[in-house]
Amino acid sequence: MMTRLLILFMLLGINFLSFSQDSLNLTDASGRRQGSWRKLDKDGHKIYDGQFKNGIPYGEFRYYYTNGKLKTNSVLSDEGKTARTVTYANNGRKIAEGKYMNEKKDSIWRYYSDYDGVMLSEESYNSGVKNGVFRTFYSKGTIAELIHYREGKKEGEWVQYFEDGKLKFKGSYAGDEKDGPFTGYYPNGKINLSGAYKAGHKDGAWIIYEENGDVMRSEKYFEGALIIEKKL
């Protein structure tokens, strides 16, 4: 009796394994993907695995490096239109995270160092187009640069900082071109230079200072061309 039961269980196990393998990569009568899917490259390395329902991806999708380590994890919703995604380096560290809408970057994206996990930058998108504040950071986590985008173009405040957090320079953009007052600073906080841009070019009077605050020289520009220079 025990022998018969053992043989039956073995047969059931074989059948179950066969059913599991056959249940991958199925399509229905209309050719739509259904259930669990797995894609391999020509060398047999797994590219991704995930789920489909009526041809639409849903739930968790995992993408892999050729060595089998996880490369990207995406959680899909809204009939596959939204994907919240985390990407990893080969060493397992998270290097990027954000959201896709209709396969385009959307909302806030953050990028990290694959060495120590420190955030390197933070970006803002609207349907794949840069829109909002972009920030970059030093390796210690302090902010390095802040710049604004509107509908894919640089627009508004533009600021850079020294690694200790002190202001390095401040200016602005209009229509993707440097435009308006510009002031640079020394690490001690004193002004390095000051002037203005117009449509991406230096324009008008610029003053360059010594680190102690004394004026070093003055310059005058017209549409980016230096027309007068006076050393003091």
- What share of the chain has pLDDT > 90, as a percent? 88
Domains and CATH numbers, the chain: 22-119 (2.20.110.10), 151-232 (no CATH)
Q: Smallest Cα–Cα separation from 208: which of 177, 186, 224, 178?
A: 186
23 pLDDT band, cuts 50/70/90, is confident
How large is the average pLDDT for residues 146-166?
97
Residue 19 has pLDDT above 90, yes or no: no
Q: ∠118-124-127 over CA atoms, to 5°?
A: 135
- List, for residues 62-112, the tens digit of each pLDDT value: 999 999 999 999 999 999 999 999 999 999 999 999 999 999 999 999 999
How large is the average pLDDT for residues 6-33?
63
Residue 9 has pLDDT above 80, yes or no: no
More confident residue, 232 or 222: 222
Determine the pLDDT at residue 5.
38
13 pLDDT band, cuts 50/70/90, is very low
